[in-house]
Amino acid sequence: MTTVDRPLRIVRTYHPRRGRLSGRHFDALERLAARYTFEIGWNVDVLEIGSGMGEATALMAAADPGRRYLAVEVHTPGVANLLHLIDEAGLGNVRIAAVDAFELLASNIPSGSLAAVHVFFPDPWPKARHHKRRLIVPERVAVLRDRLKPGGILHCATDDAGYAQAMLETLTADQELVNVYDGFAPRPAHRPVTKFEQRALRAGRPSFDVMYEKR
């Protein structure tokens, strides 16, 4: 049994968060969840893990109508907001899965099927004893890389400088991934600036992007 075939020990890579639902969000969940929830057989091109409030997902999918986007998010207000955004924009190329990403990958995303994986601003788990919970660690990267097609792109971004360096080192150490740039990537124009990132910038925390291609 290879590393990518072996089920990962379940270690949560995100903080469960609660949040209030506005009337608009309640309405979106009630009317739209069935229409835009991911179902087996819906072929995915781009997987986004942790889509937050969904602004980046909706904008990127709208600018890239030829590819199908699957947003994975467990925060209910974020799911509801993305439902509203994709319905408002009339996007037929986005689906949502409100589940743990690695459970979804294990059962529903075939090896070598994705053109891209996006991991934007995952929980940095800054305390050293919690680093095992980070999403970008070798055993999880092996799963993400396995699901990419040759030439597929793993694109990560964070505003935590320590995590950014750890991402760079972890991805560089994977022998089946090649850094598209020499070190950190220039901020790509195709990744929208979200409200979360704007707050980080105002607080003096710049963003770091890394982009790796599967051999």
Could you give the residue numbers annotated as active site? 123
Count how many Cα atoms sit within 13 Å of the Cα of residue 136 in the half-sphere of its side chain.
Answer: 33
Quote the strand ranges of 63-192, DSSP E.
Answer: 69-72, 94-97, 114-120, 148-158, 177-179
What whole-number distance in Å separates Cα of residue 151 and Cα of residue 134? 25
Amino acid at 52: G
Q: Is residue 200 helix, strand or coil? A: helix
What is d(CA 212, CA 50) in angstroms, rounded to the nearest whole number? 19
CA-CA distance, 47 to 215, in Å (whole number)?
Answer: 19
How many CB atoms neighbour CB 125 within 10 A? 19
How far apart are alpha carbons 16 and 14 in whole angstroms?
Answer: 6
- Give counts: helices (H), strands (E), the chain: 7, 7
Strands 148-158 and 208-214: antiparallel
